[in-house]
């Protein structure tokens, strides 16, 4: 991604379907990276034909590299990635080039959701801001938008008279749809009680006070009926309208859930208190399967949110690792936990 950006010198915007918008782009002035040799700046010379690699703290030029070299190495690396049989493979050419440009790794470490810092020429705003962008690649296995943990467990109470045989059959099943068929056939149901982790519960309430109930309803659609696709699950709860909204003109469920997706993309994680201040101040960069690097600037919030909601799904992570998916008793009442994980479809 770094090589492609430096070769192009521009960061193009994407529409809601991840198509390149030729009319909207941000000219790259500098890219900032932390490397083993120190803090580096990748800037262009006056004619924008070469990339100057500068050590930031002393303004010392380390090496001057033609933009065309970045282009050829980026194309060759993309070809090798798409044709690779495994996630790791030796690539002497790119390794030698990275050494030449003082990069010890393809992705620089980041303490938050801001994976790269870029100074762009912002014609609309009339200044040249240094912005942080979060990066997601569609090369290889789809990445996770919201990571699972015991922090993302939602607890539900089993309603109706609970029979011990039903509990035994439910807990003995491995497929969640089969579990819930057993439960529903016995005239039992589930009712959302709480989110186990208080920090995550408060994060959701900060975004929207109805989000815990909305997500709980969506998780039921995912686990009980197999509706993992986000848009499909949203359509199902819209039809059922569990929060009794007036849906004549307002898309309450989709609108509120989009906010969760966007906040997750820009910095919100379940285990840390969220203040609403995005770490990725510029927005989101997506590396497409064809190697095209496109962005959703925060100016294009609508397209960004539409992309997220149409490109994600619920996952069912390990039940043993995250301690969910079995009926248990407390004070003569019965409960079950369901876990939230959101992954990109591609």
**Count helices and strands in the chain by DSSP H and E runs:** 11, 16
Q: Which residue has the tokens 């997706």?
A: 261
- Number of Cβ within 10 Å of residue 290's Cβ equals 9
Give CA angle at 310 (306, 312), nearest 5°: 120
Helix spans in 173-315 (H): 176-185, 198-207, 211-225, 230-240, 252-266, 301-310
Note the pLDDT of residue 111.
47
**What's the farthest any 2 CA atoms get from each other in the chain?**
77
Helix (H) or strand (E) holding 297: strand 293-297
pLDDT at 192: 98
**Cα–Cα distance, 158 to 245 (Å, whole number):** 25
**What backbone torsions phi and psi does residue 294 show, to the nearest 5 degrees?**
-125, 160
The pLDDT value recorded for residue 90 is 53
- Asked if residue 270 lies in contact with residue 146, where contact means CB atoms within 8 angstroms, the answer is yes
CA 239 to each of CA 167, 216, 226, 244: distance values in angstroms, whole numbers, following the listed order: 30, 16, 16, 10
Cβ atoms within 10 Å of 89's Cβ, excluding its own = 10
> Checking phi first, is residue 140 left (phi over 0); if not, alpha (psi -120 to 50) or beta?
left
Residues 95, 112: Cα–Cα separation, whole Å: 26
Q: Cα 171 vs. chain centroid, distance in angstroms?
A: 32
Report residue 66 as tokens: 């033609």
d(CA 179, CA 158): 13
Q: Which residue has the tokens 């529409």?
A: 15
Q: The tokens 């941000």 sit on which residue?
A: 26
List the pLDDT tens digit at each of the 346 positions of the chain.
Answer: 889 999 999 999 999 999 999 988 889 999 998 888 888 999 999 999 999 999 888 878 899 999 999 999 888 888 888 776 655 545 556 788 888 998 875 554 544 556 789 999 877 667 888 888 888 888 878 889 999 999 999 999 999 999 999 999 999 999 999 999 999 999 999 999 999 999 999 999 999 999 999 999 999 999 999 999 999 999 999 999 999 999 999 999 999 999 999 999 888 999 999 998 877 777 889 999 888 999 998 778 899 999 999 999 999 999 999 999 999 999 999 999 999 999 999 7
Interatomic CA distance for residues 325 and 336, integer angstroms: 6
State both tokens at 41: 């700046």
Is the CB of residue 343 less than 8 Å from the CB of residue 222?
A: no
Exposure b/e, 309-341, CB count within 10 A at least 16 = b: bebbbbbbbeeeebebbbbeeeeeebbbbbbbb
* In contact, 52 and 44? CB cutoff 8 Å: yes
What global pTM score does this model have?
Answer: 0.86
Q: Which is nearest to 193 in space by CA: 328, 58, 304, 18?
A: 328
Candidates 40, 34, 32; CA nearest to 57 is: 40
CA distance 126 to 139: 34
Specify which residues 334 forms β-bridges with.
329
């Amino acid at each position: 991604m770094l090589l492609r950006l430096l070769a192009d010198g521009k960061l193009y915007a994407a529409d809601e379907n991840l198509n390149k918008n030729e009319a909207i782009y941000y000219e790259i002035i500098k890219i900032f990276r932390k490397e083993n040799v120190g803090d580096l700046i990748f800037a262009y010379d006056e004619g924008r034909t070469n990339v100057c690699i500068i050590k930031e703290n002393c303004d010392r030029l380390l090496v001057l590299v033609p933009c065309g070299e970045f282009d050829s190495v980026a194309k060759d690396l993309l070809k090798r990635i798409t044709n690779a049989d495994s996630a790791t493979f030796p690539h002497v050419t790119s390794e030698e080039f990275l050494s030449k440009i003082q990069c010890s790794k393809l992705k620089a470490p980041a303490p938050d959701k801001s994976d790269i810092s870029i100074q762009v020429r912002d014609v609309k705003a009339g200044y040249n801001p240094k912005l942080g962008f979060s990066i997601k690649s569609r090369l290889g296995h789809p990445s996770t938008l919201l990571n699972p943990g015991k922090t993302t467990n939602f607890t539900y109470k089993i309603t109706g008279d609970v029979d011990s045989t039903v509990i035994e059959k439910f807990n003995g099943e491995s497929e969640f749809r089969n579990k819930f068929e057993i439960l529903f056939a016995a005239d039992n149901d589930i009712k959302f009680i709480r989110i186990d982790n208080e920090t995550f519960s408060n994060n959701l309430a900060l975004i929207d006070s109805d989000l815990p109930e909305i997500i709980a309803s969506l998780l039921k659609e995912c686990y009980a009926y197999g509706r993992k696709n986000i848009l499909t699950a949203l359509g199902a709860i819209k039809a059922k309208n569990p929060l009794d909204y007036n849906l004549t003109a307002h898309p309450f469920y989709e609108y509120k859930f989009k906010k969760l997706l966007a906040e997750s993309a820009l910095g919100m994680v379940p285990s840390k208190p969220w203040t609403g201040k995005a770490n990725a101040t510029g927005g989101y960069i997506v590396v497409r399967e064809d190697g095209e690097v496109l962005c959703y600037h925060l100016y294009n919030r609508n397209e960004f949110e539409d992309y997220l909601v149409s490109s994600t799904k619920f996952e069912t992570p390990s039940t043993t690792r995250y301690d969910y998916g079995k009926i248990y008793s407390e004070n003569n009442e019965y409960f079950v936990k369901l876990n939230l994980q959101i992954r990109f479809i591609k």
